[in-house]
Amino acid sequence: MPGVTYHAEYAWLGPDPAGGDGIAGQVRIDTDAGRITAVVPGAPPAGTRLPGLTLPGLANAHSHAFHRALRGRTHAGRGTFWTWREAMYDLAARLDPDTYHDLARAVYGEMALAGITCVGEFHYLHHGPGGTRYAEANAMGAALFAAAGAAGIRITLLDTLYLTSTVDGAAPVGPQLRFSDGNVAGFADRHAALAAPAHGRTGLAAHSVRAVPVPDLAALADLAGPDTPLHAHLSEQRAENRACAARYGRSPTQVLYDAGALGPGTTVVHATHLSDVDRSLLGDTGTGVCLCPTTERDLADGIGPARDLADAGSPLCLGSDSHAVIDLFEEARATELDERLRTEHRGHFTAADLMTAASTAGHRALGWPDAGTLAPGARADLVTIALDSVRTAGARPLAAAVFAASAADVRQVVVDGRLVVRDGRHTGFDVAAELARTIAAVTG
C-alpha cells in the first residue's frame, strides 16, 4: 500500500507521563505499507488534511453481532436479562451462514462509522438447527471473518466453548444446541480447522461458568496457552453467582482462578457483581476486564466496580456487546458516569484513562498489541472526529471526544492505511440501508 502523509489539526498521542492530556497540535503522520512511520507534532501543513481531533483506532472488545437485530425490539414492557434472553434465542434460531454474513457485514460497517477499527466477536453460534454441523464445520465463523473484511475492519474471532445450559450441568436445549460441540474434544477439533484471514485472528472463550463445567474450563485454559486471547463472561447476573456458589461453593471468579483460566492473556466481560476477594484475584493475576456499560444498563445487569478493578490491577477495555448502542465514546464516558452514580462522587477516570481503554487496551485484549496508538511502527489506524459539531464545539479536544462526542462525530477512518470512512460515510456501501435490509431478513 503506497505511503500517505496526513496532517492532523490535533492528535491524541497517548497518556502524558507529565500529567497532560496527550494532545498535540499540527501533527504530521506519515504512513507506509499500512504502518505509521513518523509522528511529528508542530509540523507545517503537508499531505491530506485532517481537521478536528485524530485518535488511534478504537477496539470493540466484546461483540455479539447478531444481537444488533434486537435493537428497538426488546425494550417495551417489564422483564429481566432472562426474559430478554428468550428473544435473543429466537433470533439465533433463524440465522444461517448467508444471513449471518450479511447482517454482520452491516453491523461491522456501523462499527467502522463509529471509529472502531477492530472487533472482538464472542462467537458461539456455530452449528445448524438442532446442533447439526454444517458441511463446512466453521461456516458461521467464516461468515464473520468475511463480513469484517467486507466492512473494512479487523476481527478477533473468539471461538466460544458452550457445553451446558446450567451450572448443574443440564444439557443444552432448543437454540442452545446450535452453540455446543458436545465436548471439549469436539470443540478443539473444530477450532483447529478455523483459519484466520490476514485481517483476522482467532482467540478462545468460555461462555460462562454456567455453560462450561470446571474440568472443561481447565482444558480450555490449557488449549489457549500464553499466546492466545481467552475471554469469558463473568458475574453479569447475581443469579449466576448464586447458582455457582450452590454448585461449587465458590464464586465464578474463584472457579476461573482454580481452573487456571485467569492471567494477563485473559479478559473477563462485565465483572459486575464481585466480592473483594474476586477483585483481588482478577487484579493480582493481571486479568483484563471488558466493561459494556450500555448493554449492562439496557439489560438491568447493574453497575460494576470499574475503579476498584483498575486499582486492583486489572486493565480495562470496552465493548458494545448486544449493540443497544454502537458508540465507544458513550461506553467510555459511561464508565466514569456510572461510577459517579455508584459512589456519588465525580472524577474517577481521566479522559486519557478512558481513551486508553477504548483503544490501546482493547487492541491488546484482542491480540493486536501493535494497534491502538499513534506511534511509529503501529498499524496505520486513524480516526478523526469533528470538533465543530453541536456536541463538540467549544470543548477541549480530548474532553470533547470522551465526554461530548458521539459516533456521529466521526468524519474519517483509516484502517491499516486504507480509507474506510470518508466525510462520515462508509466508502464501500450504504450502511443504514444494509442494516434495514438484513435485519428485516432475519426478523420478518
Sheet containing 418-422: which strands, arranged edge to edge? Answer: 35-40, 23-32, 4-12, 48-56, 382-385, 410-415, 418-422, 425-426
SS3 of residue 336 by DSSP? helix
Verify whether residue 426 is a known catalytic residue: no
Going by C-alpha positions, the residue among 261, 278, 328, 269 that lies closest to residue 299 is 269
Q: Which three cell numbers stand for residue 116?
A: 472502531
Alpha helices in 4-132 (DSSP H): 81-92, 97-113
Question: Rounded distance, CA 201 to CA 90, Å?
Answer: 29
- Torsion angle, CA of 58/59/62/63, rounded to 10 degrees? 70
Of residues 101, 127, 270, 273, which has the active-site annotation?
Answer: 270
Alpha helices in 259-350 (DSSP H): 276-284, 293-298, 306-312, 328-343
Phi, psi torsion values for 370, nearest 5 degrees: -95, 15
Question: Rounded distance, CA 29 to CA 47, Å?
Answer: 9
- Identity of residue 198: A
- Identity of residue 61: A
Verify whether residue 321 is a known catalytic residue: yes
The distance from CA 358 to its chain's CA centroid, rounded to whole angstroms, is: 9
User: What are the residues facing 161 on neighbouring strands?
Assistant: 206
Of residues 159, 321, 353, 381, which has the active-site annotation?
Answer: 321
Phi, psi torsion values for 80, nearest 5 degrees: -135, 180
Residues tagged active-site: 270, 321
